Amino acid sequence: MNRVVHPIEVESYRRLRARLDTSHFPPLTRAVVERVVHSAADLEYADDLVMDEGELAKAHTALHSGAPVVVDVEMVAAGITRRETVCRLGDAVAGPELTRSAHAIRLAYEQVGPGALWVIGNAPTALEELLTLDAAPALVIGLPVGFVGAVESKAALRESGLPAVSNVSEKGGSAVASAALNALLYHPVPHTEETL
């Protein structure tokens, strides 16, 4: 993907790296950490985020091979400007045992099936619902924000064994969730030599 980087972003990253040493992170982890920190202007994310480089590499391949990207809210979709996303919140209905966000996740799974990248930055109940499905995701970016259920839903994601990007604290939100996906989207695809 050829992307023109604005001089303000270049300067922002220069200042970020002057204040935070990210050189010890492997490439995709570094890309995610830096883009999340950049999106929130919050250096604490460097110690708060949890991810695995091998899982990120597989997700990077899936993303660049055309795997669907599902988001929990339109605010996350708005932050992902170079890729079509699926958001079913507009079609979802709350019920006595199901929040509207959780119903939207069910609808999205019915639409895309297994193998998608899921980007959840708003509702802990969306992440909780995803964990009940047999979604076999390429990656779950689980960064919902809030004081009720956010920490617990992210802990459940890490305990699930699914490939994931999460964080330990209450922090999160649409901007950082879309930033984590964009880090993988903008990261170069390695060129491979075909053997005859």
Catalytic residues: 38
98 bridge partner residues: 95
Q: Which of 58, 16, 46 is nearest to 163 (CA)?
A: 58
- Sheet with 117-120, strands from edge to edge, namely 49-50, 164-167, 139-142, 117-120, 69-71
CA distance 102 to 106: 7
Rounding to the nearest 10 degrees, give the CA dihedral for residues 43, 47, 50, 51: 70
